[in-house]
């Protein structure tokens, strides 16, 4: 969707419609400032600043920290020194982006030593008096105040003498202080409150535009566009991670990026359930796709937080940190791309995946089909569990047989045993209670298998790419 005044038809502007309410919610001065930052060539720095600030805010929320359940139950006695170290590194990155935003002519040249020198000559470099900083008459005033706050916050963290194993309250206190400091920067607070921006999020893809036009209901089309905006924004966050993976930069600070992704994937899941799973205008294919996406984004993110990233903050081996961050990036990138394609194919079966993702391999496309077939089997079994009618073991066995004929060949041989075990258990079940118990266990096994299929396809693609590169 290009910004063309000559095309006023709403049906041609699905993404603009979805962005419209967000744009109206923002202050006019803020919108003008974002355009000015874009003109000055510092829009990537502004996006980076917003992302890392939001990431820190999410990281301070215990719901989005990569913690085991046992750790959650013993937080007061747990050492948060590794997490506070991550916070300190992330704050320093925020300082770099903020400095580049306020001095775009120096973008890309930020070094900590240079920044510290500029602090001593702040009045000359930034040219703002303390009175104007307090007033925050312009967005630039807010960035200036943010810079001072971030510098003070980092110095405070550096001066802490953390007690061993009992710094939970310090972590919470830092989180509250961080939230207050950012909220006091008026335009920064507004920037973070606006979910989408034209300068970051407008999707300009003719093939996708054409597909969206085929959706007849305007409200459904707008909700679909919003879901796609969420997914493309998540991919944009993940590209920040990929850039540092490729440049061999420190990766532990990206724990805050994954905390942000975890929070926004949860928000997306809730949006899907509220907007696409509770309306009669959504057909069965789209409803099934929306349910799969709502489940996938929430579960994949949670699995990454509770499995892949669980020990990264305390890990001392750089290779182990790299591997876990790389795996997490691959799993979530594949999840987002698969969700985008699943959503589009629910209303346009002929959409070509390479129109959006040229590097999408045949193996990845096959894995997406297998994942969809597994989900449909799970959904069918869940429907039976929710139905008060008696469960028919023969009917279930027939449905399993249909799946085997269509999709079993795409599964690894070791996964076949789960299906054979379930079929055997059904054949000897003599009561509804037994059948229901076996179905519940099999549904849980299917959910794990859906995740494993996604993870295997990512690792297979990474291995294939490594072979090609060598």
Domain that holds residue 150: 27-193
HSE of 94 in the Cβ direction (CA atoms, 13 Å)? 31
| Co-location of 86 and 66 in the same domain | yes
- Asked if residue 20 is part of any domain, the answer here is no
Inter-axis angle of helices 413-428 and 432-469, to 10 degrees?
Answer: 170
Domain boundary among 168, 193, 218: 193
- CB-CB neighbours of 87 under 10 Å: 24
| Co-location of 123 and 264 in the same domain | no
Residue-by-residue DSSP string for 304-373: IIIIISTTGGG---HHHHHHHHHHHHHHHHHHHHHHHHHHHHHH-TT--GGGT-TT--HHHHHHHHHHHH
Whole-number pLDDT of residue 413: 67
- Asked if residue 333 is part of any domain, the answer here is yes
- Asked if residue 18 is part of any domain, the answer here is no
**SS3 (DSSP) at 385:** helix
The tokens describing 355, both together, are 């129109």
- CB-CB neighbours of 246 under 10 Å: 8
Residue-by-residue DSSP string for 67-118: --HHHHTTGGGS--HHHHHHHHHHHHHHHHHHHHHHSGGGTT---HHHHHHH
d(CA 391, CA 426): 11
Average pLDDT of adjacent 10-residue blocks, the chain of 470 residues: 42 66 59 87 94 97 90 84 94 95 58 43 40 59 92 91 73 95 91 85 86 86 92 96 92 97 96 82 81 90 91 93 92 89 90 83 70 85 78 85 80 77 82 86 84 61 39
8 A C-beta contact, residue 149 and residue 184? yes
CB-neighbour burial class of residue 331 (10 A; exposed 0-12, middle 13-18, buried 19+): buried
d(CA 55, CA 76): 23
Whole-number pLDDT of residue 127: 41
| Co-location of 135 and 247 in the same domain | no
| Co-location of 348 and 427 in the same domain | no
> What are the φ/ψ torsions at residue 66 (nearest 5 degrees)?
-75, 90
| Co-location of 205 and 189 in the same domain | no
Residue that the structure tokens 């959504």 belong to: 282
Whole-number pLDDT of residue 343: 92
- CB-CB neighbours of 7 under 10 Å: 13
d(CA 376, CA 285): 10
Q: H or E segment at 223?
A: helix 218-246
- Asked if residue 119 is part of any domain, the answer here is yes
8 A C-beta contact, residue 332 and residue 238? yes
CB-neighbour burial class of residue 158 (10 A; exposed 0-12, middle 13-18, buried 19+): exposed
Whole-number pLDDT of residue 82: 92
Whole-number pLDDT of residue 275: 86
| Co-location of 44 and 145 in the same domain | yes
| Co-location of 356 and 379 in the same domain | no
| Co-location of 156 and 206 in the same domain | no
Domain boundary among 193, 215, 248: 193
| Co-location of 337 and 303 in the same domain | yes
The helix, strand and coil proportions of the chain, stated in percent and rounded to the nearest 5, come to 80, 0, 20
Domain count, the chain: 3
| Co-location of 111 and 246 in the same domain | no
The tokens describing 450, both together, are 């859906």
- Asked if residue 448 is part of any domain, the answer here is yes
d(CA 247, CA 242): 9
8 A C-beta contact, residue 87 and residue 287? no
- Asked if residue 112 is part of any domain, the answer here is yes
Domain boundary among 360, 385, 412: 360
Whole-number pLDDT of residue 85: 93
Residue that the structure tokens 């295997």 belong to: 456
Report the phi/psi class of residue 103: left, alpha or beta, with left for phi > 0 and alpha for psi in -120 to 50.
Answer: beta
| Co-location of 148 and 96 in the same domain | yes
Inter-axis angle of helices 255-275 and 318-347, to 10 degrees?
Answer: 20
- Asked if residue 118 is part of any domain, the answer here is yes
Angle, vertex CA 303, rays to CA 299 and CA 308, nearest 5: 155
CB-neighbour burial class of residue 117 (10 A; exposed 0-12, middle 13-18, buried 19+): exposed
The tokens describing 158, both together, are 């550096």
d(CA 398, CA 451): 25
What Cα–Cα distance (Å) separates residue 245 from each residue in 7, 257, 322? 41, 13, 7
Whole-number pLDDT of residue 99: 92
| Co-location of 210 and 312 in the same domain | yes
Rounded to a whole number of angstroms, the CA Rg of the chain reads 25
- Asked if residue 21 is part of any domain, the answer here is no
HSE of 209 in the Cβ direction (CA atoms, 13 Å)? 16
Q: Does the predicted TM-score (pTM) go above 0.85? A: no
d(CA 377, CA 383): 10
């Amino acid at each position: 969707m290009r910004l063309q005044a000559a095309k006023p038809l709403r049906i041609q502007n699905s993404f603009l419609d979805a962005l419209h309410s967000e744009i109206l919610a923002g202050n006019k001065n803020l919108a003008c400032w974002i355009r000015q930052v874009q003109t000055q060539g510092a829009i990537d720095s502004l996006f980076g600043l917003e992302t890392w600030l939001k990431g820190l805010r999410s990281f301070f929320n215990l719901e989005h920290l990569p913690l085991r359940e046992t750790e959650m139950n013993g937080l007061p006695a747990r050492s948060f020194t590794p997490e506070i170290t991550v916070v300190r590194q992330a704050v320093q990155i925020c300082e770099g982006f903020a400095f580049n935003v306020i001095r775009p002519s120096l973008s890309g040249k930020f070094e900590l030593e240079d920044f510290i020198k500029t602090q001593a000559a702040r009045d000359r470099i930034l040219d703002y008096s303390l009175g104007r900083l307090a007033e925050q008459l312009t967005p630039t005033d807010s960035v200036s105040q943010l810079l001072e706050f971030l510098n003070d916050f980092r110095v405070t963290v550096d001066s802490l003498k953390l007690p061993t194993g009992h710094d939970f309250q310090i972590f919470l206190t830092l989180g509250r202080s961080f939230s207050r400091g950012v909220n006091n920067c008026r335009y920064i607070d507004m920037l973070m409150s606006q979910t989408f921006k034209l300068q970051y999020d407008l999707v300009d893809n003719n093939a996708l535009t054409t597909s969206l036009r085929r959706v007849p209901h305007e409200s459904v089309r707008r909700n679909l566009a919003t879901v796609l905006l969420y997914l493309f924004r998540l991919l944009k966050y993940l590209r920040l991670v990929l850039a540092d993976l490729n440049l061999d930069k420190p990766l532990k600070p990206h724990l805050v990026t994954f905390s942000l992704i975890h929070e926004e994937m949860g928000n997306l899941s809730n949006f899907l359930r509220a907007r696409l799973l509770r309306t009669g205008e959504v057909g069965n294919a789209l409803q099934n796709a929306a349910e799969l996406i709502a489940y996938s984004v929430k579960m994949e993110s949670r699995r990454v937080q509770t499995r892949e990233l669980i020990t990264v903050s305390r890990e001392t081996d750089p290779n182990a940190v790299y591997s876990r961050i790389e795996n997490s990036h691959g799993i979530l990138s594949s999840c987002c791309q698969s969700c985008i394609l699943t959503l589009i194919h629910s209303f346009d079966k002929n959409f070509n995946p390479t129109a959006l993702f040229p590097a999408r391999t045949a193996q990845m496309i096959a894995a997406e089909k297998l994942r969809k077939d597994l989900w449909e089997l799970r959904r069918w079994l869940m429907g039976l569990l929710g139905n008060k009618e008696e469960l028919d073991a023969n009917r279930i066995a027939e449905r399993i047989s249909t799946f085997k004929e269509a999709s079993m060949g795409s599964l690894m041989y070791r996964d076949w045993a789960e299906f054979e075990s379930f079929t055997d258990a059904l054949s000897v079940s003599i009561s509804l209670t037994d059948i229901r118990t076996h179905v519940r266990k099999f549904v849980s096994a299917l959910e794990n298998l859906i995740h494993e299929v996604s993870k295997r396809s990512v690792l297979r693609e990474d291995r294939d790419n490594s072979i090609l590169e060598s």
